Amino acid sequence: MRSVERRRPGTRRPRRTPPKEEAAVSDRIADVWGTRTPHARDTPWPVRVDSHLDADVAEQDVDRWVQSACVLCSNGCGCDIAVKDGRMVGVRGRAADTVNHGRLGPKGLYGSWQWSRTDRLTRPLVRDTDGELAESDWDTAMERIVTRSKELLATDAGGLSHAFYTSGQLFLEEYYTLSVLGKAGLGTPHMDGNTRLCTATAAAALKESFGSDGQPGSYSDIEATDAVFLYGHNMAETQTVLWARVLDRVHGPNPPRVVAVDPRTTKVAEAARETGGVHLAPLPGTNQALMNGLTREIVHNGWLDEDYIARHTLDFDELRSTVEPYTPEHVAEICRVPAADIRRAAEIFGTSERVLSTVLQGFYQSHQATAASCAVNNLHLLRGLIGRPGCGILQMNGQPTAQNTRECGADGDLPGFRNWNNSRHVQELAELCKVDPMAIPHWAPPTHAMQIWRYCEQGSVKLLWISGTNPAVSLPELPRVREILRRENLFVIVQDGFLTETARFADVVLPAAMWGEKQGTFTNVNRTVHLSGKAVEPPGEARADLDIWLDYARRMDFRNRDGAPLVPWSDAEGAFEAWKECTRGRLVDYTGLSYEKLRGGSGIPWPVNEAAPEGTDRLYADAEFPTRVDACETYGHDLLTGGAIDEQTYRAKRAEGRAFLKAAPYVPPPETPDESHPFAFTSGRTVYQFHTRTKTGRSRALRRAAPDVWIELSRDDAARLGVREGDRVRVESPRGAMEGAARIGRGRDGVVFAPFHYGSWEAPGTDGAAPDGHPRAANELTLTEWDPVSKQPLFKLGKARVTKVADGTGPSPGPTTTASAPAEPDGVPRTTGGPGDETSERMDAAPPPRPPVPAAQASSGRPAPGTTPATAPYRED
Ligand SMILES: Nc1nc2c(c(=O)[nH]1)N[C@H]1C(S)=C(S)[C@@H](COP(=O)(O)OP(=O)(O)OC[C@H]3O[C@@H](n4cnc5c(=O)[nH]c(N)nc54)[C@H](O)[C@@H]3O)O[C@H]1N2
Ligand SMILES: Nc1nc2c(c(=O)[nH]1)N[C@H]1C(S)=C(S)[C@@H](COP(=O)(O)OP(=O)(O)OC[C@H]3O[C@@H](n4cnc5c(=O)[nH]c(N)nc54)[C@H](O)[C@@H]3O)O[C@H]1N2
Ligand code: SF4
Ligand SMILES: [Mo]
């Protein structure tokens, strides 16, 4: 094996670590990741407890602390909610939690409760005879829904007239209840989440490679790894606490190298440079070419674990021949990245003892999403880097509870990672619900969200129930979405805590209780389950989503085959107990968990059962994958066309617990820049805002930090267009336009980037415009196209033209602390917090939490066959 030069991250010096127990005060708007706590490989990640309280509340004034976890991203940081006088007044990270060891990021600190006392929905709203939304009461609103529902069920279309578009932000108990009433009660296959826009590709890639959804890796792999590859993942802004965990290795002895695959110069890309790794900045829409190039290099250089490939994988020859044409030079031409960088990245992957990979929207929301994400799985399989410390794959989630949407089948799957195409799996569900198997729709795959919206457009779906998502800002091609929501013959129900852009189109608006106002569980990226307590009463008459759906099931009088209520539980814990039964014997096994067990201490990663009573840190230590015909969640697809593989063909492959090396050639994206629209348009996030800002936009600190949209251009592109920092520019695609102040940024030429957070709730009735009237929602521009396997829309792709509208009056509002930093910092004020935004960081003497053992070791007590034992096993006590 060739060795690669290791360079200490030179340019940046770690900040002083305060002595234990000393609380430092910091501005976590300016200092996003907080104080470094550097440490060496195979040593525990130190504890640092972050907390923030309302300015007028001191820690000793807090009446009580209620255990929870943050719901502002998929990281799932354990926290306690501070309650005073019946109100939420602050949060504190949980030192004992395996996820965050006490830390919280800016959204958690400044955005988790601040919204709770603002303009919340407190009563149901019903559209009156004048067409206006008017305040109403629960009986009237629910009866309006139930009457319409019953009318539609009595037509020939039956349950097919109903569709549900839900969330990745509700609780497990809510999804499971919705899933049961939708599938076994109404018999509709039209149920999906905004998770389709988010992590459908994570699920698809895991299913295609390993047979089932379920995260193989663990966050604790960061402590043990030698190289971190981030594919289309701006972790520094989107899972800030996980990034702090990486930084603490990067600033310690024997740091891992970082490799970033992203067209923008994110903080991740900067870390790649500083650690002697590589920043690959492919043109949007070329990820699969790049992955084929990396794979070819790994194969050609013999960086392979041939024994692992032979024993635990299928289809190596097909993969090898598919990637053969992708020489570094050929790939360099397609992706416009230097061939030497491709070689170097492959060498780091091929020669590091342990590699951790993470994948997110730069891959999932782009062209050939599932193929490119499976290619990451392939690289790990080729080197046998899976199922042991430091060798994780994190096919990331984005939303805090997206994992549960998928597990519970509220997203276009069947509950418990069951295969809709396996009659025994359907039979199991029918038994659990005590209904006839034919009551559960399984004649075709469950309908994905993009198709649900198409059915609404065509008119076959006549009742659309939207919960916990704001599609009038977040779906692609907003002019089309608004037209659908306005349709006369579509009855729209919106269940939310706020009168969102979407709620304004509804026939009935149901006021929902949100985080801290209801009890339930949820599961983060690395399978860790947290219990979130009810800290305060919901405002006015707002109700938990669970209670709303239980009420609907009661009013509809859904019954099982014995004539008893179909949904027999009446509270969150009852739903959780029912869910446990649904998971018995599945990979996603919750049977060893209970609310009681989740109280105190740390969140616990599934599977939790008799074999692993304290949970499971990482999967597949025994290299036994759930690909057997009777276990798998899917029979798989052709990655290029999305064509489904049938049971016979799958059976003939005799996977028998081996993983699939799935291959696909690169094909060009459906839309590429041309003369009239010369730019590639892509969109994403800033650290300070969450999605459509219903929570973060109501936090003073976060609103100040990122108040309005900006449009990022490279320095050379801006010069060509005659655009200076802060000038107003217009970006147009064949579908629509947005305007904003230009940020002369550090991205690659030919690419224009805009955050997608900014809709129009501050300016009702303006269809995607800002209070001053300019259109500013990125999704005015995006296209209605999706990946053939995961059906995830291609938000990161499309062509656009950029024109200058007016001279600016000052710098753009793009934050200066992260990827949106200006190329020329002079004259642009730094993004900082204001008075009252101080946060406390306490270096705690408490020992760091200890992760559970991997599955195979939990059951057999020995390392998995065919894997190299770690030289220094990671211990946290
Ligand atoms: N602050 C904050 N954090 C969040 C969220 C939030 O709204 N705000 N949302 C949460 C959710 S639901 C999600 S899904 C995650 C998303 O987390 P990320 O995926 O990290 O976030 P994005 O900014 O959408 O996209 C990541 C990167 O993809 C890059 N990219 C664009 N096009 C391409 C391409 O063609 N190829 C490659 N390789 N990269 C490309 C962009 O430049 C961007 O930096 O964040 C979660 N965390
Ligand atoms: N152009 C572009 N578009 C994108 C993306 C992109 O990168 N670029 N990313 C996509 C991704 S990954 C995602 S995840 C989506 C996110 O898109 P959305 O899901 O539309 O965004 P949110 O603003 O998080 O909407 C969640 C809604 O749920 C409400 N809510 C919060 N908690 C509760 C609760 O407990 N109960 C109920 N009933 N409601 C609640 C909030 O008030 C909010 O209105 O956007 C997608 N759209
Ligand atoms: S990293 Fe995610 S889960 Fe943790 S505090 Fe930040 S937003 Fe919340
Ligand atoms: Mo997402």
747 CA: nearest ligand 1 atom = 42
Q: Is the CB of 241 under 6 A from ligand 3?
A: yes
Hey, which of 72, 197, 522, 733 would you mutate to test ligand 2's pocket, going by the most ligand atoms within 8 Å of its Cβ? 197
Class of domain 125-197+401-583: alpha beta
How far apart are alpha carbons 487 and 479 in whole angstroms? Answer: 13
Q: Which residues of the chain does CATH 2.40.40.20 include?
A: 679-806
> Residue 848: its pLDDT value, please?
83
φ, ψ for residue 739, nearest 5 deg: -130, 150
CA 259 to ligand 4 center in whole angstroms: 22
Q: Which amino acid is at 414?
A: L
**Strands 728-732, 463-467: pairing kind:** unpaired
Q: Which residues of the chain does CATH 3.40.228.10 include?
A: 200-396
194 CA: nearest ligand 2 atom = 19
Tell me which residue has tokens 């592109």. 717
Which CATH number is 200-396 given?
3.40.228.10
CA 480 to ligand 4 center in whole angstroms: 21
Q: Which ligand is nearest to the CA of 169?
A: 2
CA 199 to ligand 4 center in whole angstroms: 6
Q: Is the CB of 107 under 6 A from ligand 3?
A: yes
Closest residue by Cα to atom 24, ligand 2, is 691
Q: Is the CB of 73 under 6 A from ligand 3?
A: yes
Hey, which of 29, 77, 233 would you mutate to test ligand 3's pocket, going by the most ligand atoms within 8 Å of its Cβ? 77
CA 350 to ligand 3 center in whole angstroms: 32
> Residue 1: its pLDDT value, please?
34
Task: Write out residues with Cβ below 6 Å of ligand 2.
Answer: 167-170, 194, 197-198, 361, 365, 398-399, 467-471, 474, 495-498, 500, 512, 514, 545, 683-684, 691-692, 694, 756, 778-779, 782, 795
Q: Which residues of the chain does CATH 3.40.50.740 include?
A: 125-197+401-583
Structure tokens at 829: 């004020």
Hey, which of 49, 70, 81 would you mutate to test ligand 3's pocket, going by the most ligand atoms within 8 Å of its Cβ? 70
Structural contact between residues 467 and 167, judged by C-beta atoms closer than 8 angstroms = yes
524 CA: nearest ligand 3 atom = 3
- CATH topology classification for 679-806: Barwin-like endoglucanases (2.40.40)
CA 389 to ligand 4 center in whole angstroms: 27
CA 168 to ligand 4 center in whole angstroms: 8
Closest residue by Cα to atom 29, ligand 1, is 362
> Residue 733: its pLDDT value, please?
98
- How far apart are the two ends of the chain, measured CA to CA in Å? 34
For residue 121, give the nearest of 501, 698, 512 by alpha carbon: 512
> Residue 70: its pLDDT value, please?
98
Structure tokens at 516: 């801290």
> Residue 743: its pLDDT value, please?
98
Closest residue by Cα to atom 31, ligand 1, is 362
Closest residue by Cα to atom 7, ligand 1, is 690
> Residue 15: its pLDDT value, please?
46
> Residue 871: its pLDDT value, please?
30
Work out the number of other CB atoms within 10 angstroms of the CB of residue 130. 6
72 CA: nearest ligand 3 atom = 7
Structural contact between residues 162 and 152, judged by C-beta atoms closer than 8 angstroms = yes
> Residue 856: its pLDDT value, please?
52
> Residue 859: its pLDDT value, please?
41
CA 714 to ligand 4 center in whole angstroms: 26
Q: Which segments in the chain show pLDDT lower than 70?
A: 1-22, 765, 768, 845, 854-877
Q: Is the CB of 102 under 6 A from ligand 3?
A: no
Hey, which of 261, 262, 820 would you mutate to test ligand 1's pocket, going by the most ligand atoms within 8 Å of its Cβ? 262
Q: Which ligand is nearest to the CA of 532?
A: 2
**Rounded CA Rg of the chain:** 25
How far apart are alpha carbons 526 and 224 in whole angstroms? Answer: 16
> Residue 869: its pLDDT value, please?
32
State the virtual CA torsion across 136, 139, 140, 144 in degrees, nearest 10.
130
796 CA: nearest ligand 1 atom = 32
- Longest pairwise C-alpha distance within the chain: 76
Task: Write out residues with Cβ below 6 Å of ligand 1.
Answer: 73, 107, 198, 232-234, 237-238, 261-264, 266, 282, 284-285, 287, 360-363, 366, 398-399, 682, 684-685, 687, 689-691, 796, 819
Structure tokens at 489: 């013959």
CA 112 to ligand 3 center in whole angstroms: 9
CA 396 to ligand 1 center in whole angstroms: 11
CA 167 to ligand 2 center in whole angstroms: 7
CA 158 to ligand 1 center in whole angstroms: 39
Q: Which stretch of DSSP H or E encloses residue 142? A: helix 138-153
Q: Is the CB of 218 under 6 A from ligand 3?
A: no
CA 620 to ligand 1 center in whole angstroms: 27
How far apart are alpha carbons 430 and 840 in whole angstroms? Answer: 51
Prediction pTM value: 0.95
Residue 185: DSSP 8-state = I
> Residue 493: its pLDDT value, please?
98
> Residue 868: its pLDDT value, please?
33
Work out the number of other CB atoms within 10 angstroms of the CB of residue 597. 16
